[in-house]
């Protein structure tokens, strides 16, 4: 189970892994903005979460965690079988699998230090992600990571190595 902010976080990490593998962020299908709180937010994703909730595919429990309903589980199975969703599944699974190796809190901190998201927090403004001048620093980090560990289907390794780097080496916006 996850809350809405976690869904945005892991969807954004999925998109970043897609970019890591050499695809343009625009091919992901929807874009993200960095909020003034330093969190990624996808407006189209939020609309889909609302539509899924209204269609009784998804609901929030008393603790505000999202959970699939029985109908939602069936819809998920259907969507996973579509060719148009096949490519994205590997990236979504890799992002979710990072929870096996690092706590959500560390993932949140690391993503907040991601080069295109960091300025939104530092300036306390919303801005489009993976499009700013800072995108070159992101690509530089990904080129370095690829040179060391390569790219391919096992995205958990680059995800955890990069997130660990961001947690340990990248400065916070305030210092």
Count of domains forming the chain = 1
Q: What confidence tens digit (pLDDT) does each residue in 53-84 have?
A: 999 999 988 888 999 999 999 999 999 888 88
CB 97 within 8 A of CB 153: no
Asked if residue 93 is part of any domain, the answer here is: yes
Rounded to two decimals, the pTM is: 0.90
Asked if residue 174 is part of any domain, the answer here is: no
Mean residue pLDDT of the chain comes to 88
Q: 18 is in which domain, residue-wise?
A: 4-168
Asked if residue 175 is part of any domain, the answer here is: no
Question: How far is residue 88 from each of residues 29, 67, 68, 129, measured CA to CA in Å?
Answer: 10, 21, 19, 19
Summarize the confidence of residues 137-165 as an average pLDDT. Answer: 89
Asked if residue 121 is part of any domain, the answer here is: yes
CA 122 to chain centre: 20
Q: Which two tokens stand for residue 34?
A: 């960095």
Residue 38 has what pLDDT?
A: 80
DSSP E strands: which ranges in the chain? 33-34, 40-41, 58-60, 66-68, 127-128
Residue 175: pLDDT band (50, 70, 90) is very low
Asked if residue 173 is part of any domain, the answer here is: no
Summarize the confidence of residues 156-168 as an average pLDDT. Answer: 93
Asked if residue 34 is part of any domain, the answer here is: yes
Residue 171 has what pLDDT?
A: 56
19: left (phi over 0), alpha (psi -120 to 50) or beta: alpha
Summarize the confidence of residues 164-173 as an average pLDDT. Answer: 74
């Amino acid at each position: 189970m996850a809350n809405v902010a976690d869904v945005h976080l892991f969807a954004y990490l999925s998109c970043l892994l897609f970019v890591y593998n050499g695809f343009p962020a625009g091919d992901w299908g929807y874009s993200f903005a960095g909020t003034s709180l330093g969190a990624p937010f996808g407006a189209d994703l939020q609309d889909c979460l609302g539509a899924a909730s209204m269609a009784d595919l998804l609901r929030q429990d008393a603790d505000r965690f999202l959970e699939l309903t029985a109908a939602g589980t069936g819809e998920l199975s259907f969507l996973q079988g579509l060719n148009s969703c096949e490519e994205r599944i590997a990236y979504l699974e890799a992002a979710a699998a990072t929870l096996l190796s690092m706590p959500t809190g560390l993932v949140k901190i690391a993503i907040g230090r991601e080069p295109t998201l960091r300025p939104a927090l530092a300036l306390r403004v919303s801005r489009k992600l993976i499009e700013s001048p800072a995108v070159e620093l992101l690509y530089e980090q990904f080129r370095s990571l690829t040179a060391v560990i390569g790219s391919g289907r096992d995205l958990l390794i680059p995800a955890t190595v990069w997130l660990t780097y961001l947690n340990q080496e990248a400065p916070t916006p305030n210092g």
